[in-house]
Structure 1
Amino acid sequence: MPLPLPLPSPVSSLLWRSLRVYQVYGANTDVGKTIFSTLLCKAATRFWDNEQTAFLKPVSTGPLDEADDRHVQRFAPEVANKTLFQYDLAVSPHSAALASKRLIPPDESLLDEISKFASRRASLSRGWLFIETAGGVHSPGPSGSTQAELYMPLRLPVVLIGDAKLGGISQTISAFESLKIRGYDVEAVLLFREDKYQNHLYLTDYFRDQQGIPVKTVPEPPARGESISRDADSMLWYYETTSSSPTAQSILSYLAAQHSKRIDRLDSMRASAHKTIWYPFTQQKQLSASNITVIDSAQGDHFQTLTSSAPPSAPLLQPTFDASASWWTQGLGHGSPSLALAAAYAAGRYGHVMFAEAIHEPALALAENLLAGMANPRLTRVFYSDNGSTGAEVAVKMALRAARVRYGWGAEEEVGVLGLRGSYHGDTIGAMDCSEPGVFNEKVEWYEGRGFWFEYPTVMCREGRWVVEIPREMRSTASYGGHKAVFASLGDVFGVKDRENRGEGALYEQYIVDTLERLHREGRRFGALILEPVILGAGGMLLVDPLFQRVLVNVVRRSSHLFGQGEHRGAKEMGDSTTHWAGLPVVFDEVFTGIYRLGRFSAASFLHVDADISVHAKLLTGGLVPLCATLASESVFDAFGSDDKSDALLHGHSYTAHAVGCQVALESLRQMKEMDAHEEWAWAKTSYQRNEVPSKPSLGMSPESLIWSVWGPDFVNWVSQQTASSVGGAWALGTVLAIHMETKDGSAGYKSGAAKDIQASLARGAVVVEGIEGDGAGWNVHSRVLGNVLYVMAGHKTKEKSVRQLESILRRVLLEKKHQ
C-alpha cells in the first residue's frame, strides 16, 4: 500500500493582486477543458502581452504524449505550464494512482503543491494562471476525494466548461449546482457552439436570467483527419483565429474585472463595516476599522482572512485557525459539504413550513434522536426554538409553571431560580434574569435578577497539580484541610460516586442545606434549579467541581419542604422519582457543554444525575444554522395541560422547528455519533488512558466514561506551571482548553485585560511553529478571551497534527511573555 506524504501546514485561498487565478472545471469528461484552457492562455498572452500567463494541471492521467500540458506546450509555447502528478493509465485519477504503486499525495499535499506553484507565479510579475481539473466536477482526485471537495480550500473562481453534446444541458446545470453548493463562485460558462443540439441557447438564457452569469461560445475545433500534421496545422489556425476574436477578449476582460471587483470589495469591507455594523459584545468606541477581521471564506478548522497591507506579489488571504469554534458552534468543520447538502435537501423539499399542530419528518426524527442520545429516563418531550438564549427562557417558563402548579402559588407571587454565581444563560430578558447582577446585565434597564446564586468550588491544574478550590463560604479546617483539595488526576476529580462514598460531599451538602434553610426562613420562593453542567462558559470558562453540582441537584430534589410555603409547604411529590421532578424542576443548560463538546453526548453524564429539562443548541447543527431544542419530562409537560388554552405554553417563533435546521441537526448528530462509535478520537484518549486513570478505583470511571481532551495532559501540565508568564492555572476537557491568567492587582472577570496580549500574539501569527516547514508565518490564530481567561477550542474533526501545532504556538507565546 503506498505511503502517504507528510502533511504540510494549512493551505491558503489563492488570491493575489498581481495574479488572476481561475480554475477550469468541466461539466463532464470530453467537453473541451484543455482546448478552452489553451484558448484562454493564448488570448491572455495576446491581449495582456506585458504580463505572463501560466497553465497548471494538478493531476493528469493517460499516455504522456497525450497529456494536456503537452497540448498547451504545442499550441501555446509562450505559456509556462506544468503538471504536478502524471499517471500513465487513462482512467480516473484515484484508480490510476492506486495502479501506479507510487506515493499517493494526500489532499493537503496536493493543495500545497498547487499553492507553491501559484505563489511562484505571483512573485514573478503580473499575469494569469489557469488551473485545469481532470474529468468532471466530481471526478475523484488521487486520494479518492471528489475534485469539487478536494479543491474547496483554494476557493478559486471557476470557469465552467459546459457540455454541448446530447444531455449536456442537464450535465452543465448539475455541475454548476454541485459547485455552487460547495461555495465556489462560477464566473463564466463557456461551451462550443454546436448547431445540432444548440445547448448554448438554453444555457445562455438559464444562466443569464437565473444566475446572472455570462455564457460565451466559440466555434467547435476542426474535426480530426487522417494526417497528424494537417490536424496540427488546423488546430494551430483554430487557436490563432479564435484566441484573437472579440469573444475571447470579452471573456478575459470580464474575468479581469471580476478579479478586481473581488479585491476592491475585500479592501473596502473593514471601513464599510465600521460605519454600518453594530457588533455584539463589542465596545465600538474602542474598535478601529483596522482591527476588524475580514473573512473571505472558511474551510475545515480555518477562516481565510484578509491580510494587512502587502505588496502586489504577497497573498491577500491567510489561513486563520478558528480557535473559538465560531462562538462555540463549530464542530464538523467549516464548509461541510454533508451539512450543506442536508440544508439544501430540506430547503428543496420544504423551504419553511409552519409547525403549530403539524409535523414533518426532520423535526420528528431529530426529536427522537435527541431523546435517544440523552438516555435520560425523565425526558420525553422536545420543544424547538431558535437559539440557546431563547431555549433557556423556554426552559425556565416550563419549570416555573410546573413548580407553581404543584405548590399552588398565585401568579402574583414573586418566584425566582436557584443557580451558580457567574452563570450565564443568554441575553433575552428572561434568561438574563436567571443570572446574578454582573457585567452582562448591570446596565440593562429591564433587568431584575430573580433568584439566588450559590458559591461553588472550581477545578484547575495549578503548577502540575489538579486542585479543587473551596470558596470561603464553605471552608472548614475539618474538610480537605482548609481551602483546597489536591487530586492526582482530573479523572480522580470526576470520580464523583467514589468521592461521595468517601464523604467528600459532606461539606458541600452542609453548605447547601444551610443556605436553603436560611432562604426558606427569609420567605424566598424558588421555582427551578438551573445549571450549566460542569463548565460555566461565558461566566469565565470555570470548571466547577462535578461533585458539588451532583450534591446540589440531589439536595434540592429531596428538599420539597423548603420550597412550599404556608398550606402548600411540603407538597406531596408525584409519581416515580426517577421520571418525575422532585423538590424543584432541575434545568441543565447544555447549550455550550452538550453534543460532544466535552467528549460526551451529554455533559450531564459527568454528574451521574438526570435533568428534568435540558437545553441544547450550538453544536446541535454543527455551526451551520440556528436551532435550539429544549427537552422536558412528562411531569413538567403535564403542568400545562388544561381545558383553558391560556394555560398552554404560549411560546413560539415563525421559524419554530424549521425543516432546514432540523435536517442539518440530524446530519450533525449522525456524524458525531459515528465518530464516537468508530473511536475517531482514540488518538486523544490514548494519552489520557496512560496519564489520567484515577489513582483510586472509581464506580464512576468505566472505560467509556474516560475523562479526556484533545489537548495533551503533558501540555496542560506544562501550561499550568508557567507562573512566570502569569499563568494562574489551566484545564482541558473534550475540545476545550482554558488558560487563566493572573495580574499583579489580582483583577479578573470579564472586564480584565489580562489575556489580551496572548490573544494579540496569536493573531499576529509571527511565531515559528515546530514541525511546520518554512518560517511558520503563513497562518495565525483567531481567538476570543473572557477577561483574564484565554480559551482555545478545536473542532471535532481537527487532526492531531493541528492540535500539536497549536500547542507549540501556545508554548512559544507563553515563553515570549515570560521574557517580556
Structure 2
Amino acid sequence: MAPIGSLLWRSLRVWQIYGANTEVGKTVLTTILCKSARDRYKNELIAYLKPVSTGPLDEADSHHLDKYAKGVAHATLHQYDLAISPHAAARGKFVPSDKSLLESIYAHAAQTAARSPGWLFIETAGGVHSPGPSGVSQAELYKPLRCPVVLIGDSKLGGISLTISAYESLRLRGYDIEAVLLLRDEQYRNWEYLTEYFKEHHGIPVYSFFPPPQREAESLELDAERMGKYYGAASQAPIIHDVLEHLDSRHKARIARLESMAHSAHGKIWYPFTQQKLLAPSSITAIDSANENFFQTLVPESTSGEPGNEPLLQPSFDGSASWWTQGLGHGNTSLTLAASYAAGRYGHVMFAEAIHEPALALAETLLHGMQNPRLTRVFYSDDGSTGVEVAVKMGLRAARVRYGWSNKENLGIIGLKGGYHGDTIGAMDCAEPSAFNENVEWYEGKGMWFDTPSVKCVKGKYIVEIPEGLRGLLKSSHPEFATLADVFDIEKREKARHHEAYEQYIEKTLHHHLSQGRKFGAVLLEPVVLGAGGMILVDPLFQRALVNVVRRSSHLFGSEGGDAISDEQSWSGLPIIFDEVFTGLYRLGRFSASSFLGIHADISVHAKLLTGGLVPLCTTLASESILRAFESNDKTEALLHGHSYTAHPIGCNVATESLRQMQAMERNGDWDWAKKGGWSKAGANETLSDSKVWSIWHTEFVGWLSNHAAVAGAWALGSVLAIHLNAPGGAGYTSNAAVNLRDMLRCNANETTEAPWNIHSRVLGNVLYMMGGQHTSEEEILELEEVLTKALSTLNL
C-alpha cells in the first residue's frame, strides 16, 4: 500500500510552485528563487524538481534553470517532447499512475532532505487545473503531498480573475498559499489590485517583479547575455530576499505550531470519552491534514530520528473512519464543492414552513433509497443523539394517542442490553445503566432491555452466544454456523423454526414486565450491530423475532388493543424505531441495515455516513401513521422540536452528493472485489450485486483472528472489523484488554516501506475495531490485515 506522506522536514523547506495559467512566468520566478537562495544560503543545498515537463529537452524548464542558476540541483521525473498539456503529450508514451508519480516525488524529496539542509522548489506544469499525465487536475493530483504553495499570478489581461480563481481552487482543496508572486505589466498593472486584494481579504503578501527582457530572435547569444544580467540583478534585489525570508519564517512557524499543539491542547481542550486526569500530551495526536483513508500525523519526538533528516509527518490509517462518519475519503473534493455551493448560494436559511432545494432533494433521495413503503416523511436535526430523541418523541406520542393514555403516563422504551443511542440526556435514558450514563446526575433509565444473543467467529465457526436466560429454551446453548451468510439466512432459519424459542422468551419477558403495570411506547433498536455498546453483532433472527412479536401484540400494550389497523403502512403493537446512525447507509454493505432483517421500520434515524464525514446532520424518517398522531388544530400538539440549523443547506447538499456517490458505487460494482471474496459466494442464479452478506475484510483473515489465543472472537461485515480480545478482568467498556494492541498499531506499525506508516485506532474496552471507507481498496485491506497479523503475533498474552 505504501501510503503517500506529506513533504515536511525540519531542515528542508519544500515549496510547490503553481501558476494561475500557462505562460505566467513560473519558470522565470522559480529560477530567481533558486538563484537567490543559492547565493543567500551558501552552505545549504538548493534543489529544483519538475515532476512533469513537456516540450523539447533543450527548452525544458530544468535546462533553463541549469543555465541561469548554476549550482542548483535539478531533476525532471517525466519529460515529454511535445509542448502541450501533459495528458496529451503522454499519449502513446509511458504514463505513470498518479500514485507512482507521488511516490517518486516523495522519494526525491526524502533523498534531498537526507543530503543536506536546504530548499526544494517543485514546479508544476501549466495552470492549477492543467491535467497531469493521467488526466487528473494537478490541483487534485498533488493534494496528498500537502506542500505549501507559492502561487505565480497572471499579469496579463484577464489575469486578475485567473489569479483569484486559481487561489480559490487551491484553497478549496486545503492548500496553504503563503505568497503570490507575479511579473509586472505596466499596461494592466495587475499587481496593484492583487496586492490590495490578497492583503485585505486573505493576509497573503504579493511580490511583483520586473519582467525579463524581450527575446531577440536574431541573436541567441545576446538573449542569453541579457537574461543572465536579468537574473543576476533580480536574484540580488531586496524583494526576493524578502520573499525567501517570509517563506523561511512560514516554514519554521508551521513546524513550531505542529510541535506545540499537543501541549497547548492538553491545557485548553476538554476531550470527549477521555479521562483528562490520565491524559498526557504524549497521548495526543497532532493531525496536520488528511486525505482519502489517512491522516498525516506528527511523528513523536522519540521516533523522529536525526534532527532535520527524518520526516516530521507520517501517514496514519484512520482506523475509526473518523468516528464512524467518513466513507468517501478525507478531503473529498466533490463533497467540498457541494458544501461550497450551498454555502455560497444560501449560507443558512431558517427552515420552519420553508423549503430549499438541498433539503427537498435529500428527502427524496433518502426516501427512495430506503425502499421502505412505510416511510414518507423526513425530519431534520443535527446529530444522531438528537435524531433519536426526535424519533422517541414521535413513537411515544403515536402510542399514547392510539391507546388513549394520559400524557402523564410514565412510558418506557423496549430495547436491547448493550444498545446505546447517544449522549444527550433523553437518548441516554433509552439505554440500560452503563459506563456511559450511570454516573450522569440526571440519568433515569426509562425502559426494559432484553438480553442479547450475539454472534462471533470463534475458531473458524460462527457461534451464536446465547444469554443465560434464554439457554433453557434452546436445543443448543451456542448454535454454530459455517459462515456468516448462514447466520443471516433468516428465512431458512425460520423454516427450521429456530425463531420459536426467541419468540417464547420475548413473550414471557414482555408479560413479566407488563404484569407489573409498566407501559411501553416504542421499540428502539440498532439493527444488526450495537456500536458504542461494544461492537456487538446481534443475531439478526432475534431482532426480527422481537419486532414480529411486538407487532402482533397490540392486545398486550393497550387495554383495548388500540385502533384497528387499516393498512400495512400503519404501525401495530408499538412503533418500531431503527437507530441506523452508525449501521446505515452502506456501513454494513447495504443502503439500510434494516434490510438484513427483512423488516420495515416505522421510524428510522440516519446520520454519520449521511454526509460522508464532512458536516453534522441527522434525519429521522417516519410514516404517515406516525405523523397523524401530531395532527391537531392545537399548535401545542405539534412536534415542537428543532434547532437553529435545522436542515442547513450545506449539510443537505453534501448529504445528497454523498448518497449519490455511494449509490453510484453500488450500481457500478465498485465493491465486487469484496463480494467475490466475501462471506456469500454468488450462486449460479445470483449476481455479485445480490450477495447478501459481504465484507471488505477477507474471510481467511477473520478465520485466522478467530483462532488466535488472545482473541475471544471476531466478525466482519461491510467495512467494519471487530476483534473481541480475551479480558481476564472482565469484558466491557472499562476493560483495558485492547489498549496494548491499539498502542502497538500506533507505533510505526509498518516499517518495511520507504515511508513508514501506522494505524490510528480506537477501542471499546476489550474490543478493537477497524473500519475502512467505501473507497478503501483491496490492496489497502491486505496491507492492514498484514499489519494486524504482525501486531497480534507479537502481542504479549
Cα shift readout 1:744-776 (whole Å, capped 9, x = no counterpart): 34x10000000111101100024455xxx44xx
Partner Cα distance (1:575, 1:437) in 2: 38
Residue 537 of structure 1, aligned match among 522, 531, 537 = 531
Instruction: Report the counterpart of residue 289 of structure 1 in structure 2.
Output: 281
Partner Cα distance (1:71, 1:693) in 2: 59
Instruction: Report the counterpart of residue 79 of structure 1 in structure 2.
Output: 72
Tell me if 1:673 matches 2:638.
no
Partner Cα distance (1:129, 1:713) in 2: 46
Q: 2:749, 2:787 within 8 Å by CA — same for their partners in 1? A: no
Is there any run of 5+ residues in structure 1 with no aligned partner, and where?
1-7
Partner Cα distance (1:744, 1:633) in 2: 46
1:550-629 map, 5 Å:
550-564=544-558, 568-576=559-567, 578-629=568-619
Instruction: Report the counterpart of residue 105 of structure 1 in structure 2.
Output: 96
Residue 271 of structure 1, aligned match among 256, 263, 275 = 263
Q: 1:383, 1:629 within 8 Å by CA — same for their partners in 2? A: yes
Offset at residue 701 of structure 1 (A): 11
Cα separation, partners in 2 of 1:636 and 1:139, compared to 1, 3 Å: same
Tell me if 1:121 matches 2:112.
yes
Residue 720 of structure 1, aligned match among 706, 710, 722 = 706
Instruction: Report the counterpart of residue 3 of structure 1 in structure 2.
Output: none
Offset at residue 706 of structure 1 (A): 2.1
Percent of residue pairs identical: 61
Instruction: Report the counterpart of residue 503 of structure 1 in structure 2.
Output: 497
Residue 428 of structure 2, aligned match among 429, 432, 450 = 432
What amino acid maps onto 2:748 in structure 1? G
Cα shift readout 1:340-379 (whole Å, capped 9, x = no counterpart): 0000000000000000000000000000000000000000
Offset at residue 308 of structure 1 (A): 1.2
Partner Cα distance (1:338, 1:133) in 2: 23
Instruction: Report the counterpart of residue 649 of structure 2 in structure 1.
Output: 659
Residue 715 of structure 2, aligned match among 713, 731, 734 = 731
Corresponding residue SS for 1:484: coil
Cα separation, partners in 2 of 1:796 and 1:392, compared to 1, 3 Å: same
Tell me if 1:329 matches 2:315.
no
Instruction: Report the counterpart of residue 680 of structure 2 in structure 1.
Output: 692
Q: 1:31, 1:163 within 8 Å by CA — same for their partners in 2? A: yes
Residue 474 of structure 2, aligned match among 460, 471, 479 = 479
Residue 51 of structure 2, aligned match among 58, 65, 71 = 58
Cα shift readout 1:126-166 (whole Å, capped 9, x = no counterpart): 11110000000001111111100000011000000000001
Q: 1:767, 1:812 within 8 Å by CA — same for their partners in 2? A: no
Cα shift readout 1:306-344 (whole Å, capped 9, x = no counterpart): 011132111110000000000000000000111000000
Residue 147 of structure 2, aligned match among 153, 156, 159 = 156
Corresponding residue SS for 2:308: coil
Residue 521 of structure 2, aligned match among 517, 527, 531 = 527
1:637-656 map, 5 Å:
637-656=627-646
Q: 2:669, 2:689 within 8 Å by CA — same for their partners in 1? A: no
Partner Cα distance (1:219, 1:683) in 2: 57
Instruction: Report the counterpart of residue 439 of structure 2 in structure 1.
Output: 443
Q: 1:491, 1:693 within 8 Å by CA — same for their partners in 2? A: no
Partner Cα distance (2:563, 2:733) in 1: 43
Tell me if 1:16 matches 2:6.
no
Offset at residue 572 of structure 1 (A): 2.6
Cα shift readout 1:182-235 (whole Å, capped 9, x = no counterpart): 000010111011100111111111111001111110001100002111001111
Offset at residue 570 of structure 1 (A): 1.4
What amino acid maps onto 1:736 in structure 2? V
Q: 1:425, 1:431 within 8 Å by CA — same for their partners in 2? A: yes
Cα shift readout 1:670-728 (whole Å, capped 9, x = no counterpart): 0000000000011111012xx53499x99x999624200000001111110112xx100
What amino acid maps onto 1:749 in structure 2? G
The normalised TM-score by structure 2 is 0.98
Partner Cα distance (2:725, 2:130) in 1: 50
Partner Cα distance (1:258, 1:642) in 2: 62
Partner Cα distance (1:427, 1:520) in 2: 28
Q: 1:13, 1:318 within 8 Å by CA — same for their partners in 2? A: yes
What amino acid maps onto 2:674 in structure 1? A
1:366-515 map, 5 Å:
366-476=362-472, 479-481=474-476, 483-515=477-509
90-99 vs 465-474, greater mean Cα deviation: 90-99
Residue 213 of structure 1, aligned match among 204, 214, 223 = 204
Corresponding residue SS for 2:90: helix
Tell me if 1:231 matches 2:231.
no
Partner Cα distance (1:521, 1:606) in 2: 33
Is there any run of 5+ residues in structure 2 with no aligned partner, and where?
none
Residue 796 of structure 1, aligned match among 761, 774, 786 = 774
Corresponding residue SS for 1:817: coil
Tell me if 1:39 matches 2:32.
yes
1:330-349 map, 5 Å:
330-349=326-345
Tell me if 1:546 matches 2:540.
yes
Tell me if 1:317 matches 2:313.
yes
Tell me if 1:709 matches 2:695.
yes
Corresponding residue SS for 1:642: coil
Instruction: Report the counterpart of residue 137 of structure 1 in structure 2.
Output: 128
8-17 vs 437-446, greater mean Cα deviation: 8-17
Partner Cα distance (1:580, 1:780) in 2: 50
Partner Cα distance (1:336, 1:702) in 2: 27
Residue 165 of structure 2, aligned match among 158, 171, 174 = 174
Corresponding residue SS for 1:98: coil
Instruction: Report the counterpart of residue 186 of structure 1 in structure 2.
Output: 177
Cα shift readout 1:531-554 (whole Å, capped 9, x = no counterpart): 000000000000000010011001
Q: 2:675, 2:691 within 8 Å by CA — same for their partners in 1? A: no
Tell me if 1:200 matches 2:191.
yes
Offset at residue 106 of structure 1 (A): 1.1
Offset at residue 46 of structure 1 (A): 1.5
Corresponding residue SS for 2:591: coil
Q: CA RMSD in A?
A: 1.5
Partner Cα distance (1:263, 1:282) in 2: 27
Offset at residue 505 of structure 1 (A): 0.2
Offset at residue 480 of structure 1 (A): 3.6
Corresponding residue SS for 1:624: coil
Residue 760 of structure 2, aligned match among 772, 775, 782 = 782
Cα separation, partners in 2 of 1:192 and 1:693, compared to 1, 3 Å: closer
Q: 1:495, 1:701 within 8 Å by CA — same for their partners in 2? A: no
Corresponding residue SS for 1:503: coil
Instruction: Report the counterpart of residue 29 of structure 1 in structure 2.
Output: 22
Offset at residue 574 of structure 1 (A): 2.8
What amino acid maps onto 2:479 in structure 1? A
Q: 2:319, 2:771 within 8 Å by CA — same for their partners in 1? A: yes
Corresponding residue SS for 2:310: coil
